[in-house]
Copies of this chain bind each other. A is one copy, B any other.
């Protein structure tokens, strides 16, 4: 937290020396967690050529917050210095008006290139690709290719492959630099290249692209359009960002807490991201209150029943969240027995029943011994049965809801949290009170 502390005390001299000593990435990592005004102050102290490197190394979400706060001229000049790939990822996260104003201040050609890239869905291969790669004709020899690489002044620093494209720009093969180094100078690229190229389509979802890169252990995947013409590459460092981002999104969605951590940075966007799911929970809670209202006589007779509502609902809610979390995450990383769904459901429900039996009995024993104003044995029986019922229902709802949503193409992450909890609360408690009225004969 060194930088933030020095900004706070306003010690410009020591701050400047610290900035000289740290590398770009280390500065960026600290800026990620600082507020807007402090970040701008630090950036203003960096030499112009370092500024873009530092911002490019920041998390895109944080960099976008910075860009949004900069004056237009400063923002445009920063964008101009960023590499295209990073610029697109950052610009895709700021609001449209500001974006248009920044683009208007750029060089015509640069603005057009950025606009074209920003035109792709930001969650598609096109949205995360870089347009910079090194291509060669399959008829070129190894010596010619090496000479071309040496002569070219814009081989990207992270280039590890050479892509063989035909005169129509169609991708026909790929060669690693290692293949080139090992190959004989007179060998043709066509004889050396791997023709079984794993590619991503321009409009393919970024999660699928990430999955391909991760499955095939690639460092870059070429992106092709509908005519199989090569248009760019997605590099593994962007894939790493996608994987992190998608995991964050799943986690936040499951908790009904929005989709991105950046939303949580301001009160207003945070409120906007969260109020909806709380509304679902509130509506669910009102339905629960209404459906239980018939049991008021039971409650007046045996108020001890109310004391165990939290535990009956809570045990169900917890086991339901366990099941739904396992299914949601399993579906997201492709590690769920989709070929054996019946088995998965049976196992989860079996676990719900088993845990329900164990904890139902345990809770009942403790509850009976606590001596509430009710017949201890009867109360114990109802609590045990209620816990078992609620946990059984919860494991069914928790397991099946995400599976059903997934089958219908809806993101299963939204099924967890508020929805599972509210429905389990309702059904579990209804069962509990019904059991009380049957077993103990209270109420209507």
Residues of A within 8 A of B (CB): 1, 4-5, 23, 25, 28-30, 32-35, 57, 59, 61-62, 146, 149-150, 155, 157-160, 176-178, 180-182, 196, 213-219, 235-237, 239-241, 243-244, 247-248, 250-252, 254-257, 261-262, 264-267, 270-271, 274-275, 277-279, 281-282, 284-286, 288-290, 292-293, 295-301, 303-311, 313-315, 317-319, 321-323, 325-326, 329-330, 333-340, 343, 347, 350-351, 354-355, 358-359, 362-363, 366-367, 370, 372-373, 417-418, 421-422, 425-426, 429
Contacts and interface: CB of A to CB of B under 8 A. Distances in A.
A299 B298 CA distance: 11
A77 to B, nearest CB: 23
Nearest to A216: B25
Nearest to A327: B264
Given A33-B337, A237-B214, A367-B289, A355 B25 contact: no
Most chain B beta-carbon contacts within 10 A, residue among A146, A150, A299, A359: A299
B417 A181 contact: no
Given A181-B150, A261-B330, A318 B236 contact: no
Given A255-B326, A257-B326, A309-B309, 17 more contacts: A33-B339, A34-B340, A149-B181, A160-B176, A180-B181, A219-B219, A219-B236, A236-B236, A240-B243, A243-B244, A248-B329, A251-B251, A251-B254, A264-B330, A285-B315, A289-B367, A296-B304
A278 to B, nearest CB: 6
B33 A350 contact: no
Contacts of A285: 308, 310-311, 314-315, 363
Nearest to A146: B181
A407 to B, nearest CB: 13
B311 A286 contact: yes
Contact of A177 (B181, B421, B426): B181
Q: Is the interface of A mostly helix, strand, loop or mixed?
A: helix
A57 B367 CA distance: 52
A286 B318 contact: no
B34 A337 contact: yes
B278 A318 contact: yes
Given A181-B181, A310-B289, A366-B286, A61 B296 contact: no
B322 A255 contact: yes
A256 B22 CA distance: 40
User: Quick one: copies of this chain in the complex?
Assistant: 2
Contacts of A32: 334-335
Contacts of A241: 214
11 contacts: A33-B338, A146-B181, A159-B178, A251-B325, A251-B329, A252-B329, A257-B326, A261-B335, A275-B358, A292-B307, A306-B306
A296 B303 contact: yes
Nearest to A286: B366
Contact of A293 (B34, B262, B307, B310): B307
A313 B304 CA distance: 18
Nearest to A263: B326
Given A243-B240, A335-B59, A155 B180 contact: no
Contacts of A266: 347
A421 B177 CA distance: 54
Contacts of A333: 244, 248, 261
A304 B300 CA distance: 9
A333 B244 CA distance: 8
Closest 9 CB pairs of A and B: A285-B311, A247-B247, A299-B303, A4-B339, A255-B325, A306-B306, A217-B237, A257-B322, A177-B177
Contact of A256 (B61, B157, B318): B318
Contacts of A57: 215
Given A315-B278, A333-B248, A354 B271 contact: yes
A59 B35 CA distance: 40
